[in-house]
Structure 1
Amino acid sequence: MKTEEIEVEQQAPATVPEPGRLLSPLVKGVMISAVAGTVVLGGVLPVLPSSSERAVPPAAGSAGRAMDAAAAGADASLPDLTALIRERESYLRAHPRDDRAWAVLGAAYVERGLRTADSAYYPKAERALQASLKTRPAGNVDALNGLAALADARHDYRAAKKWGEASLKLAPKRWTTYPLLIDAYGQLGDYKAVDRALKTLTGLRSGAAVMAREGQVYRDRGWREDALASLTDAAALASTPSEQAAYLHRAGELTWERGEPTEALNYFAQALAADPDHYASLAGKGRALTSLGRTTEAVQAYRSVLTRQPRPEYSLELGELYESIGFGDAAKAQYGLLRKRVDADGANGVDDSLLLGRFEADHGDPRAAVTRLRAEWKRAPSVQTADALGWALHKAGDDKEALTYAKRATDPEHGGTVRSALIAYHRGEVERELKLDGPARRHIGEALRINPAFSPLLAPLAKAALAALGDPPAGRPDKARGTGANAAPAPRPHAAPRSSAPERPESRRPASQSPAARPTAPVAPPKPSAPPAKPPAPAKPSPRQAPQTPKPPGA
């Protein structure tokens, strides 16, 4: 038997019990990790011993630190997470009937798969979680939450909703279930359910993990200042360096989306100083460097992250960067790697239809992209899917139908309130093709106001399109702001009341606690009782450096 994993086919049931039948009494509350950065923000690490066989606590050291972090709702470091997996595997060889240990192991596999972009951990996680359910089929909230996290990681949001809601029926005050459901509801386009879940979550719990979750929801609503305040507060209150890195990364992503690459680069540098293994921040660094025209450094950052965390979306970003500077063969190589990684993910149960549809629309077969994204729309009708389907229809030549989806992606009544330069540009291009010059001028202009360097390939096209549209006709000027949600400050039609959010006592935050004050030195995690830090003051942007042309790979 390999030391890396424990095969559990003997313990796993033939079929997983239906959540609706799990009607046992409530189990004891167990702390789990609420936020883990990247595409899916969520991991699950139950920490109490089972009722069927008393689990031996993890040994002191790395495994113990990982469990302590989970108990506080924080991210464990990657080495500590690895140690926890090995410790649970070893323990389960001697105690195969411990349902809680199986749940811990399954959840740790999910989190490691997310952190390393290795989807091979997901089948292992599924076997471990099913073994936990077979050992204790009724009232097993830990396994249900683990299955919800696994489904989110695989982009199976309907399954995540099913498992998460089944868990809430058993333990409605288990606060760590709500972040898993917020992820699922958002991708299913149920934004009212997102707001209800966030309101309940903030009523049950405060602290860094909840603040970070608020920040993500606020970002999706277009409330960028609120989002940044929540994320920087969360980073100041983080209990581990890994947790702090995750929140600083999200702040960096937000500032890059706002067209502030210099500030974003500062956040990513802080995140990597706190946790050098936070590879998503290395990819963010590549994105910010691309926006600043520092293409040699950007290529180096992307190539470095792809050796450590080979996510297909990073191959897409690097491929487009290569394409923008004339390295067509290098771009094609990255696109080929993207397809291989998507295929490998699919073999492990991950559905990358949204990413593959976006890729096909711009770099492959737009009609195949339309077919794929129509199916994705039925499965997960989110703002992101509406935008991707509308753009694929445009690339396939059906601009009339494309506008229907482009409008939906920017319609506040359907959740289209995120201020995205890409979404605004997509709608503007569709309108330009339909000779709707006024709306096209507004939306393309808005895209460039949100983030003038939102894409190395599309931003130059947006500038050329806006120049071709020219000024508004005399006497009938376009409004300064467009009609879509990306063109004006987003209204708050479904927002959870701000009174439900954790209070941020800004007047008590000393300036020395600002994350921006420490751009290069490692950041020591503050104690949970420390007052939150003041959001960093916007840095004065440095003069844009002249674009650098990197040598092609292997040169």
Structure 2
Amino acid sequence: MPTLRVWGAGAVAGIVLIAAPVAVRSLDTDRGSQVSPVGARPASPADPIAAAQARLREVPDDAEALAALGGAYVERARVTGDASLYDRAGRALDRAPALSGPGTPTRVTALVASAALANARHDFAAGKESAVRAIEADPYHAPAYGALADAATQLGDTKGATEAIQRMLDLRPSVAAFTRASYDLELRGDVDGARTALDRALDGAFTRDEVAYCRLWQGELARRYGDPAGALGSYEAGLRTAPGDPALRAGRAAALADLGRVDEALAEYDRVTASAPIAQYLTHYGESAERAGRADLAREQFRLVAAQFAVQEAQGATDDVARAVFEADHGDPAEAVRRAEAERARRRSVHTADALAWALYRAGRADAALPYAVEATAGGWRDPDVLAHAAAIRAAASVDAGKAADAGNAGGTAGAGPTGTSAASGTSGGAR
């Protein structure tokens, strides 16, 4: 299996970090989509959408402007949670290839943007296809390997993801490459290596957006692995660079909640969700409110989460992994199982394994959940939520096995009843 060589940010030869052999895991961010697979925000004009639109008013068939507009819409949708922008991106990107010659830089740019759009909509097979076409047109185009890595990670192709990231690092050891390398290392359990890769990303960050992005992921890594104070410092450092950034503000709110500064956390969540009503942020807001005993406030956030999922689906951006986990914790476990099984049929990754395991457990089927929980953690993934899911499932499955054995020893006169347990594990309010 391949190893990942993470080059130091100024290194030209010789200085490498050799990672352990590849296993599996994933961020979403998100949770598969809690946060999108790691990539860097590109350096761009203050308003790349306006710039592209202005160019298209002058030259309606400018392929380069159409490709830039499509990519900018995808990025804006990621930041704001406005799923309607995906349709606009698609219309621009559908036109761009026909207006550019085969193998031209503009065609490659359009294909990479199309891959990013497909990945954002969680159509990872289409994302992989567009990325491969871009690479076939230009084998030296580093961003195409980033789009390929994102798709491969979510499709469960760990080897393919690592190889794509390595190629990206070899071509251009940029912020985008190092942040993806960090995620790849984290998925296989090398958290120290993930931190090192993010440090090197920050060393090579020059634009405001790049610095803020690195600070965001440093904060996410610190918070998920037990350092909320360090996470808060990273988020606030990012906000000094990019005041008002919704992802950094949501991270700050989560870190404040983890530190027990609940009132501050709820106030921050209230502000950030007013401008960026993203399902992930609303879920965290509701969970923090729930822990604070604010049941009415929590229910309102969970209602808004369901509405956001409906809007996303109407725009073709289905996220059944995030929806399954949300339904398992805060909605209908049967619906959670249906969603998780549907996504599992499309892609076999650690994300879908964890989501299906948790949905089955919450539906009272711990025995059926156990193989998926084992799969989710077998490659080294150490995300605390995923480990907590696995621990709860193993405990419940052991109890059920004991009950079944007792019933058998009693001559089979008493049925073991339905397998599993519907008890909450206590992790539903965790840092997800």
Q: TM-score range by the shorter chain?
A: 0.7 to 0.9
Aligned residue among 86, 96, 101 for 1:132: 96
Q: Which runs of 4+ in 1 moved over 4 A?
A: none
- In the TM superposition, residue 134 of structure 1 has moved relative to its aligned partner by 2.5
Is 1:273 aligned with 2:262?
no
Report the CA distance between 1:277 and its aligned residue.
Answer: 3.5
- Structure 2 alignment gaps of length 5 or more: 1-28, 401-425
Give the CA deviation at 1:224. Answer: 1.1
Moved more, 198-207 or 286-295: 198-207
State the partner residue of 1:311. Answer: 278
> Structure 1 residue 455: deviation in Å?
5.1
Distance apart, 1:219 and its partner CA: 1.6
Task: Render the CA deviation track for 1:343-371: whole Å, top value 9, x for unaligned.
Answer: 11112211121111111111111111101
Deviation at 1:389, TM superposition (A): 0.6
Q: Give 2:72's aligned residue.
A: 108
How far did 1:270 drift?
A: 0.3
Q: In the alignment, what sits opposite 2:383?
A: 420
Q: CA deviation at 1:306?
A: 0.6
Matched pairs, number:
372
Over residues 362-393 of structure 1, what are the superposed CA-to-partner deviations in whole Å (9 max), with x where a residue is unaligned?
Answer: 11111111011100111132212111111111
3-state DSSP of counterpart to 2:210: helix
Give TM-score, length-normalised by structure 2.
Answer: 0.82
1:431 deviates by 1.5
For 1:350 and 1:325, the matched residues in 2 are separated by 32
**Preserved contact between residue 357 and residue 372 of structure 2 (Cα < 8 Å):** yes
1:189 aligned partner, one-letter code:
G
Quick one: which of 84, 92, 96 aligns to 2:60? 96
Give the Cα separation in 2 of the matches to 1:335 and 1:241: 33
Alpha-carbon distance in structure 2 between the residues aligned to 1:145 and 1:75: 13
Q: Does the alignment pair 1:240 with 2:207?
A: yes
Paired with 2:330 and 2:38, the residues of 1 have a C-alpha distance of 31
Comparing both structures, which one devotes a greater share of its residues to helix? Answer: 2
- In 1, are the aligned partners of 2:360 and 2:369 still within 8 Å (CA)? yes
> Does the 8 Å contact 2:370/2:397 carry over to 1?
no
| Residue aligning to 1:492 | none
Q: How does 1:152-163 map to 2 (within 5 A)?
A: 152-163=119-130
Map Cα deviations across residues 414-451 of structure 1 (whole Å, 9 max, x no partner).
Answer: xxx221111111111111112269xxxxxxxxxxxxxx
Q: Measure how far apart 1:121 and its partner are.
A: 1.2
* Letter paired with 2:397: L
Are 1:242 and 1:278, in contact at CA under 8 Å, matched by a contact in 2? Answer: no
Q: 1:40 aligns with which of 32, 36, 41?
A: 36
- In structure 2, relative to structure 1, the CA distance for the partners of 1:259 and 1:241 (3 Å cut) is same
RMSD: 2.1
Query: Is the 8 Å Cα contact of residues 38 and 180 (structure 2) preserved in structure 1?
Result: no
Inter-CA distance 126–458: structure 2 relative to 1 (3 Å threshold): closer
Indicate yes or no: 2:347 matched with 1:380. Answer: yes
SS of residue in 1 equivalent to 2:36: coil
1:396 counterpart residue number = 363
SS in 2 for 1:434: helix
1:431 pairs with 2:391? no
Does residue 331 of structure 1 match 2:303?
A: no
SS in structure 2 opposite 1:428?
helix
Contact between 1:74 and 1:238, CA under 8 Å: does it hold in 2?
no
Structure 1 match to 2:429: 457
For residues 54 and 174 of structure 2, the distance between their equivalents in structure 1, rounded to whole angstroms, comes to 34
CA contact (8 A) 2:213 2:238 kept: yes
Residue identity opposite 1:40 in structure 2: S
- CA shift digits 1:215-266 (9 cap, x unpaired): 1211222111111111122113211111101011101100111101000000
- Is 1:348 the counterpart of 2:320? The answer is no
The answer for the alignment partner of 1:498 in structure 2 is: none
- Matched-pair contact (CA < 8 Å) for 1:321–1:456: no
Deviations 1:140-180 (A, max 9, x none): 21211110011111111111001101111111111111111
Residue 136 (structure 1) shift: 2.9
Structure 1 runs not aligned, ≥5 long? 1-36, 44-72, 438-453, 460-555
- Same amino acid, percent of matched pairs: 36
The CA deviation at 1:41 is 4.9
**Judging changes above 3 Å, is the alpha-carbon distance between structure 1 residues 456 and 304 closer, same or farther for their aligned structure 2 residues?**
farther
